Structure 1
Amino acid sequence: MSKLGLGCGRMSNANSDRRESIATIHAALVAGITHLNTADFYTSGHNEMLIGEALKGSNRDKAFLSVKFGALVAPNGAMYGLDVRPQHIKNYVAYTLKRLNVEYIDLYQPARIDLAIPVEETIGAIADLVQAGYVKHIGITQVDDNTLRKAHAVHPIKLAEYQYSLFNRSIEKDILPAARELGIEVVAFGTLAHGLLGGTWSKDKVDHSNAYIPLFAKENIDTNLALVEALREIAAAKQMTVAQLAVAWVLAKGDDIIPLIGARKVNQLQESMKSLDVRLTERDVQSIEEAIPETKIAGGSFPQMKFKNGVVIR
């Protein structure tokens, strides 16, 4: 497993360039970033087909393909529900294998867990696919520590995927200790807090994709931008960008944590990879966390979605 993973979802955005996206995947593999993170519902399968094209030839053996499944997405791109019923999982895998043009998936995981379906049943259905050779490893995402333990008892969980950034450290309380006890590595998405830690955000910037996130609400954004500026001072002193420092902080939190970077251009990939060269001391980590104290963060960084019978409950 590489120390960084490449989150490929943004490569299928309307303003993304197909050739540049494929070049970015190739550059990542050459640089040793093997973990390619996607989902069957990213742009209705387009992302899987894009990755499949990039992996033609000898590139398949260089990649560790991580795929999420189960989210129900409308034609306008909005997520409206979840379907992780065990009897449907084989069907999902069949379509994913076709779109990726591969014979197996390295890691397969439900996008969320449906509270109406015992997690043991969902993981058990994936375990059958492991036995059949279509899936190598099982992952899970955004579950509590108790559910993580239940899932791991059915079949070893290789990776658990959670949002983790300076603006969301909730996994440190119960989930990260449980994962470490069980020997499960953690994949960290959202390390730049939906762009807030990208270093270029301003309250006048228009980005409707983040409008639903409380961090960016009118009553919260000024407070959070002030915290980013405090982090910028530390980054400047270390001659790096805010984004590089934010990713380096996640890397410094443990060798068992793999941050995802959302690069969709080669130059973005190269900039993000510079975080691998950063060595933060314990004092550095403390200073960074003091610059963005949890008690000062205004608003949540992720809507808490739970599902029952395939419908969102809040």
Structure 2
Amino acid sequence: MTAIVELGDGFKVSALGFGGMSLTDVYGAVTDDDALRTLNHAVDSGVTFIDTANGYGDGRSETTIGKLLKNRRDEVQLATKFGIVKQGGVGQRGVRGDREYIREQVELSLGRLGTDRIDLYYQHRVDPLVPIEETVGAIKELIEEGKVLHIGLSEATGDEIRRASTVHPIAAIQSEWSVVSRDVERFVVPSAKEHGVGFVSYSTLARKWLTGLLDYDELVDGDVRLKISRYTPTNLAYNQPILDEFLRIAGEAGVTGAQLALAWFYNKGRQLGVSAVSIPGSRFPERVTENVGAVEVELSDDQLGRLDALADRVRGHRSAQPQLVSSARE
């Protein structure tokens, strides 16, 4: 079992969540049956927070989760997202945050998920053409209609969190926050803390890199990492000494690379005073079990200090479209 964390707006979830992108072929082929088996194992292990999006696998992730919900809806807290519009191939996206689009997409998501409510509905990326107050106002209407219970934002800036909070309490801000991606600590985390917003981290394992198990030659066409500069062969080679140092610390702590990456995140959240949840995804039940074991790991001040120093040395950006993440607009 994992601990329970209260994010913003009174929304309580398991400290370790499950990221639904891995239920599609984006990180390697997976059958729907195997994906569902892993999902059920996660819930059996106490992972009750499931986080997906309308665009993951063009709705495939939501459809798979819908199979779980048929029998286990009341056992989980369900999050999904709207706002990213495909254009130009893998890793190239547009954004929409207008009321018409939101109302269209919530119905499509509810249909694929086979449920009458979404516990946490995120704006996946902020639309530069639509004031965030208008977007949040449109989701607030869905709350009033009972289709959504809480509002989340993904890759919003500190100021956008503040502005959104004037319209309705925000339960969660989502971004990549990891040992090697700490840009959110400058503005986003302080704003979340100030406005009572919980933090949900995706890619806490740096898209598998921090596990020490990522093999570039095994990446298949369509894998999002092929579009991210941090994962080019040149940058992977440059960053290898950083990974080696990270894995040495994991060995000293008696944990795996995945567990150290998660433990750092939970320890950092406590250190900075923000409610923190991570949502690593996996295609394999044994990886879920491994991740669950990281939630209660305590790191020493020396270990945290050594890990904290790694981010400034990493070469390559964390996103395929840097202009769409919060740090580009702060």
> What is the TM-score of this pair, normalised by structure 1?
0.91
C-alpha displacement at 1:56, in angstroms? 1.1
Secondary structure of the residue aligned to 2:153 is strand
Change (3 A) 1:306 1:204: closer
Give the Cα–Cα distance (whole angstroms) in 1 for the partners of residues 150 and 295 of structure 2.
26
Q: What is the CA deviation profile of residues 191-247 of structure 1, one whole-angstrom value per residue up to 9, with x for unaligned ones? A: 111222121235655455212222123442222111000011111122221111011
CA contact (8 A) 1:203 1:222 kept: no
Give the Cα–Cα distance (whole angstroms) in 1 for the partners of residues 126 and 152 of structure 2.
12
CA contact (8 A) 1:115 1:306 kept: no
Change (3 A) 1:289 1:73: same
Is 1:220 matched up with 2:268?
Answer: no
Change (3 A) 1:233 1:304: same
Q: CA-atom RMSD, angstroms?
A: 2.0
Equivalent position amino acid for 1:298 in 2: R
Q: What is the CA deviation profile of residues 8-45 of structure 1, one whole-angstrom value per residue up to 9, with x for unaligned ones? A: 11112161122221122112222221110100111111
Q: Which moved more, 1:193-202 or 1:126-135?
A: 193-202
Is 1:144 matched up with 2:161?
Answer: no
> What is the TM-score of this pair, normalised by structure 2?
0.87
Secondary structure of the residue aligned to 2:57 is helix
Match of 1:19 in 2: 33
Secondary structure of the residue aligned to 1:268 is helix
Correspondent of 2:281 among 248, 262, 267: 262
Match of 1:310 in 2: none
Change (3 A) 1:75 1:170: closer
Match of 2:122 in 1: 109
CA contact (8 A) 1:202 1:225 kept: no
Which segments of 5 or more consecutive residues in structure 2 lack a partner in the other structure?
A: 1-12
Secondary structure of the residue aligned to 1:261 is coil
Change (3 A) 1:90 1:168: same
Correspondent of 1:282 among 266, 281, 301: 301
CA contact (8 A) 1:20 1:266 kept: no
C-alpha displacement at 1:155, in angstroms? 0.5
Change (3 A) 1:10 1:206: closer
Give the Cα–Cα distance (whole angstroms) in 1 for the partners of residues 91 and 184 of structure 2.
26
Give the Cα–Cα distance (whole angstroms) in 1 for the partners of residues 211 and 220 of structure 2.
13
Is 1:9 matched up with 2:28?
Answer: no
C-alpha displacement at 1:130, in angstroms? 0.3
Give the Cα–Cα distance (whole angstroms) in 2 for the partners of residues 74 and 45 of structure 1.
16
Give the Cα–Cα distance (whole angstroms) in 1 for the partners of residues 312 and 142 of structure 2.
44
Match of 1:158 in 2: 171
Question: Taking every aligned residue pair, what percent have the same amino acid on both sides?
Answer: 29
Is 1:55 matched up with 2:69?
Answer: yes
Equivalent position amino acid for 1:226 in 2: P
CA contact (8 A) 2:199 2:276 kept: yes
Give the Cα–Cα distance (whole angstroms) in 1 for the partners of residues 88 and 254 of structure 2.
44
CA contact (8 A) 1:214 1:301 kept: yes
Change (3 A) 1:305 1:229: same
CA contact (8 A) 1:106 1:135 kept: yes
Give the Cα–Cα distance (whole angstroms) in 2 for the partners of residues 109 and 18 of structure 1.
24
Match of 2:317 in 1: 300
Q: What is the CA deviation profile of residues 233-266 of structure 1, one whole-angstrom value per residue up to 9, with x for unaligned ones? A: 1111222211110111001112411111112221
Give the Cα–Cα distance (whole angstroms) in 2 for the partners of residues 140 and 282 of structure 1.
31
C-alpha displacement at 1:85, in angstroms? 1.3
C-alpha displacement at 1:287, in angstroms? 2.4
Give the Cα–Cα distance (whole angstroms) in 2 for the partners of residues 136 and 204 of structure 1.
43
Give the Cα–Cα distance (whole angstroms) in 2 for the partners of residues 116 and 211 of structure 1.
29
- Count of matched residue pairs: 305
CA contact (8 A) 1:137 1:157 kept: yes
C-alpha displacement at 1:79, in angstroms? 4.1
Secondary structure of the residue aligned to 1:200 is coil
Give the Cα–Cα distance (whole angstroms) in 2 for the partners of residues 75 and 223 of structure 1.
29
CA contact (8 A) 2:35 2:283 kept: yes
Is 1:197 matched up with 2:215?
Answer: no
Q: What is the CA deviation profile of residues 104-149 of structure 1, one whole-angstrom value per residue up to 9, with x for unaligned ones? A: 0000011111111111111100000001100000000101100110
Match of 2:45 in 1: 31
Equivalent position amino acid for 1:6 in 2: F
Is 1:244 matched up with 2:259?
Answer: yes
Give the Cα–Cα distance (whole angstroms) in 2 for the partners of residues 301 and 226 of structure 1.
18
